[in-house]
Homo-oligomer: A and B are copies of this chain.
């Protein structure tokens, strides 16, 4: 029924416009060296035929490929926000984006090799879990930018958020409100859990307060079980590893009959989409996904086009105070 028909090629357009393939190529990629009149003629013929350049062939031939490979974790909602922003950043610099997800049963190396096989001119990896050696291996083939993780060795670029500054803001905010008994529910083995944990310890120390840390993780469930072990000795404020963890903490506290922020203040991290939901109104440390994504794309493009050496960009996050943090109840 539906006859699968061949899509038009450069050749077809050239034929229709009565010029050579090479000239059509010049016109299509907006290169200099074509008269305005023929340019219009070719463009017209292309539109007429519904011609779209074939990126396989284009990528294959040209060494400068204008293709960025982006790997992300399908299970992390925050990554989706970055993907979204990365598209905008990439197109504004005239690049295409190839996506590859790390999913269940699909390890990160597989995701990355697939991007490489498609001819990505650079790789952007969101919170990569690979070792320095593995990263360096890929960096030997194309520029690699690590996003949200800065401990990546000398061979790769990184764009990350200053975890220490973020935690400092969180601690300052809470102590400023009058909190003394603050707990950090950490991220367990998740990427950037270590620096945040260390920063929390240092900042509490700086304030002359005891740094109490409860093992947690990046999901709601982790937050819930962490909060359960809080009951015995209730703090006045909690800094969670991320928003999802914070949500788990809040729900667990609520289930125990406690009010947020009246009884306990809770602070998240990421300022993800759902932190902004009207019923949650979660106070959170914002890493600003669009800015991070843009920085990573810029970094990748600069490395492709220039001959700069790897660098580590660190952005300072900012605090977004909403409704889950308040002054502690006078005891």
Task: List B contacts of A220 (CB < 8 A).
Answer: 274, 277-279
Q: How far is the CA of A221 from the CA of B281 in the complex (A)?
A: 12
A270 shortest CB reach to chain B, Å: 15
A141 in contact with B75 (CB, 8 Å): no
> 0/1 per residue, A1-41, Cβ < 8 Å to B?
11111010000000000000000000000000000000000
Q: Inside 8 A of A278's CB, which chain B residues have their CB?
A: 220-221, 224
Please give, as numbers and ranges, the residues of chain B lying within 8 Å of A83 by CB-CB distance: 74, 101, 103
Q: Please state if B60 and A84 are interface contacts (CB–CB under 8 Å).
A: no
Residues in B with CB closer than 8 Å to A206 are none
- Does residue A113 face the partner (Cβ distance < 8 Å to B)? yes
113-141 of chain A: CB within 8 A of chain B:
113-114, 116-119, 136, 139-141
Q: List B contacts of A77 (CB < 8 A).
A: 77, 80
A52 at the binding interface (Cβ < 8 Å): yes
Interface code A90-102, partner B: CB below 8 Å = 1, 0 otherwise?
0100001011110
Residues on the B chain within 8 Å of A60, using CB? 54, 56-57, 60
Interface residues on A, range: 35 or more
Please report whether the interface of chain A is mostly helix, strand, loop or mixed according to DSSP.
mixed
Contact status B141-A4, CB under 8 Å: yes
Listed by A's residue number, 19 A-B pairs whose Cβ atoms lie within 8 Å are A2-B155, A2-B310, A4-B142, A52-B116, A54-B60, A54-B117, A54-B119, A74-B80, A74-B83, A75-B273, A80-B80, A84-B103, A87-B101, A88-B103, A221-B277, A224-B278, A248-B277, A248-B279, A251-B280
Residue positions of A touching B, CB distance < 8 A: 1-5, 7, 52-57, 59-60, 74-75, 77, 80-81, 83-84, 87-88, 91, 96, 98-101, 103-106, 113-114, 116-119, 136, 139-142, 154-155, 220-221, 224, 248, 251-252, 255, 273-274, 277-280, 309-310
